[in-house]
Each structure stands twice: as structure tokens, then as C-alpha cells.
Amino acid sequence: MRSEKGTVALEFLLLFPLVIAMLYGATTYGILFFGKYEMQSVVDQAASSALRVDRARYSADDLSGQIVATANTTLEQGWASKSQRLRAGAEITGDECKVGDPPDNFLTCTLSRDNKAEPMVPQLTFGFLGKFPPMPETMSAEATMAF
């Protein structure tokens, strides 16, 4: 019978990198999904702020402008409260929330983040195997509200 000394060490040497890669991948995707959840939360709050605009206070012509202004302000405030790591790849221009052309009375708020230029989590490079874990180049969230 041959000696089996070192078999466990060899198995550990072969399997340890795979286990670490799986843990890193799971953690990375968890962070990405939470970031997407945070982005969706911000646009949902911005779109729902349209419901808090007093319609009796504004004329029909001014109502959509006020709704857009309120939604953009809510989006900017909500986005400013998020972590710097999440905000790094997105630029708020003030026109993320828009109203569709009549007769569509829908407010649509969108937020997008460049995950390629400013990744939320660094990718590991394995030479000829490429980058791990694969990540989306952009992350976006959208919410639509009828008013």
C-alpha cells in the first residue's frame, strides 16, 4: 500500500483557490445587487414624490413642470444620501425625471451608473482567464408613475 502522506495538503492546495473565488464572487454580487436595490429605491422615491404635489395649487400647464421639479429634487437628495462608492459612477444632471408627451401623463425617472469606469467592487485578473467575477458595464434603475 502506498503512502498517502500529503494528500490532504494537495487537495487543500487545489481546492482553496476555488473556494476563495466562490466566496469573492458571492460577496461581489451581493454588493452589486444591494447597489442596484439602493438605486431603485432612489428612483422609486423620486417617482412617488409626484403623488405629493398639490394638484389644486397649479394650473394644468404648470402641473407637469412642478411634478418634474419635485421628482428631480427628491432624486438628487436621495442620491446624495447614498455612499460615495455607489455615487462614483453616476452623474446627476437634473433631468433624470421627465414627463412623456401628451396624452401620456407618465413621469419616468431613470438613474444610470457606469460600472466599467468606476466599478463598485474591484475585479480580479487571472491572466489568460480574464477578469473575475464578470460584472455589468452599467447599472440602471427606472421607475414610472402615472399622474
63-109 residue pLDDT tens: 889 999 999 999 999 999 999 999 998 888 888 999 987 777 899 99
On whether the CB atoms of residues 112 and 143 are closer than 8 A, the answer is no
Contacts 24+ apart (CB under 8 A), 96-99: 96/43, 96/46, 96/72, 97/46, 97/47, 97/68, 97/71, 97/72, 98/68, 99/64, 99/67, 99/68
Task: Tell me the helices (H) and strands (E) count for the chain, helix number first.
Answer: 3, 5
The pLDDT score that the predictor gives to residue 93 is: 85
The pLDDT > 90 percentage for the chain reads: 54
CB 76 within 8 A of CB 93: no
How far apart (Å, rounded) are the C-alpha atoms in residues 145 and 52? 12
Q: What is the pLDDT of residue 1?
A: 55
Tens-place pLDDT, residues 27-68:
999 999 999 999 999 999 999 998 899 888 988 788 889 999
Q: Which residue has the cell 432624486?
A: 75
Q: Are 42 and 141 in contact (CB under 8 A)?
A: yes
Reported as a single tens digit per residue, the pLDDT across 113-140 is 999 888 999 888 878 878 889 999 999 9
Q: What's the rounded Cα separation, in Å, for the pair 36 and 4?
A: 49
Distance CA 58, CA 40 (A): 29
The whole-number pLDDT of residue 21 equals 87
